[in-house]
């Protein structure tokens, strides 16, 4: 008998990192949301959870995709997309969508959604932890630990490297869900928040004291003690923070990148940090990951490096499941969906 069920294929399993493996409870909630006539096919083959989709496509994945109307994964590759002729909706559990925007996807009517807001809370907390790390001179203290040296003299002598967070200014370049979450926390600590957005509309955004379009970036960089990058990587933002932008930043400022590594010219940043033209940098993302052992960033004592781990959260699947279930309801009802990617703009 011919199988007439409609299919949602979910490829969200990681042998190495259980954090990124979809729990059975999520599959059950998706089945309940879809209702009769639907099958949730959860593929158990391991995948890559970095957001670019897995480059290795097991036969089980290709077989399942051939029947899929909906595909849930960590991005989707061109090969997998072409193997799924019935697709109408692709959902990525990653925040960025650039790797999924190959020409065939861009030209198709397939809906593409992402998970940008799901990561807002952990990334906002990562940002504030990094702000306080530099504000309280923990980089100087950590240097003392490595050298088994009591660093009081250095911390007191270079007191200008420390600052009260209250009363300082933070620029947030890219003011979507993550940017707003950072802004709210910064304001709660008494900081002044300058939001830089691709488009200005609807008045002052939540969590910001001032708002600017892209043309205001130069002015904002010169005013800010902390510059947070929370924007997607597109053709317009790749290399945005290079020698010129770094030269516009205050000498006591800190750059924090939690978005995508390609937005920052890492060679120019290493030069600025090495010559102490800026106070420091906190980096969770890099042009090449893992960061190569010969990168000059490893040798600098005024940089905080985390291995693209800022989004890790024990509550990830709780938030991700809520988003997916809500969007299943929107999809079935034919209504507006959440987190739809603008394929032209790239986010």
Q: Indicate if 154 belongs to the active site.
A: no
What sign does the CA torsion over 286, 133, 227, 276 have? negative
Structure tokens given for 326: 């809500």
Per-residue tokens: 172:
């947030």
The answer to whether 45 is a known catalytic residue is no
Q: Exposed, middle or buried: residue 149 (CB in 10 Å: 0-12, 13-18, 19+)?
A: exposed
Q: Could you write out the DSSP letters of every residue in 105-128?
A: HHHS--EEE--GGGGHHHHHHHHH
Catalytic pick from 197, 260, 266, 320? 260
Q: Rounded to whole angstroms, what are the CA distances from 238 to 6, 102, 127, 214, 289?
A: 39, 17, 21, 14, 16
Catalytic position from the list 192, 197, 279, 308: 308
Report the chain's C-alpha Rg in angstroms: 22
Is 13 labeled as catalytic in the residue annotation?
no
**3-state DSSP assignment of residue 9:** strand
How far, in Å, CA of 166 to CA of 268, rounded?
30
Given the residues 32, 104, 206, 289, the one annotated as active site: 289
Active-site annotation, residues: 260, 289, 308
């Amino acid at each position: 008998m011919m199988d007439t069920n409609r299919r949602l294929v979910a490829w969200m399993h990681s042998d190495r990192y259980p954090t990124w493996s979809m729990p059975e409870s999520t599959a059950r909630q998706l089945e309940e949301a879809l209702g009769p006539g639907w099958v949730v096919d959860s593929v158990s083959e391991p995948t890559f959870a970095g957001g670019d989709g897995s480059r290795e496509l097991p036969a089980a994945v290709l077989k399942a995709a051939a029947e899929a109307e909906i595909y849930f994964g960590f991005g989707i590759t061109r090969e997998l997309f072409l193997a799924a002729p019935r697709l109408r909706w692709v959902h990525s559990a990653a925040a960025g969508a650039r790797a999924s925007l190959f020409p065939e996807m861009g030209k198709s009517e397939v809906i593409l959604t992402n998970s940008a807001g799901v990561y807002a809370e952990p990334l906002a907390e990562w940002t504030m932890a990094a702000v306080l790390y530099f504000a309280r001179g923990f980089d100087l203290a950590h240097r003392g630990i490595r050298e088994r040296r009591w660093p009081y003299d250095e911390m007191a002598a270079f007191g200008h490297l420390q600052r009260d967070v209250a009363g300082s200014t933070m620029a947030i370049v890219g003011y979507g869900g993550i940017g707003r979450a950072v802004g709210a926390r910064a304001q709660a600590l008494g900081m002044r928040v300058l939001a830089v957005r691709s488009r200005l509309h609807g008045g002052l955004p939540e969590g910001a004291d001032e708002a600017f379009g892209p043309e205001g970036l130069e002015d904002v960089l010169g005013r800010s003690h902390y510059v947070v990058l929370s924007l997607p990587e597109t053709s317009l933002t790749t290399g945005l923070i290079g020698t010129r932008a770094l030269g516009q930043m205050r000498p006591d400022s800190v750059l924090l990148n939690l978005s995508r590594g390609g937005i920052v010219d890492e060679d120019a940043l290493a030069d600025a940090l090495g010559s102490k033209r800026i106070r420091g940098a906190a980096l969770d993302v890099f042009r090449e990951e893992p960061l190569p052992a010969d990168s000059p960033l490893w040798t600098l004592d005024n940089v905080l490096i985390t291995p693209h781990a800022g989004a890790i959260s024990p509550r990830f699947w709780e938030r991700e499941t809520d988003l997916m279930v809500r969007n299943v309801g929107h999809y079935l009802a034919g209504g507006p969906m959440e987190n739809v990617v603008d394929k032209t703009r790239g986010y």
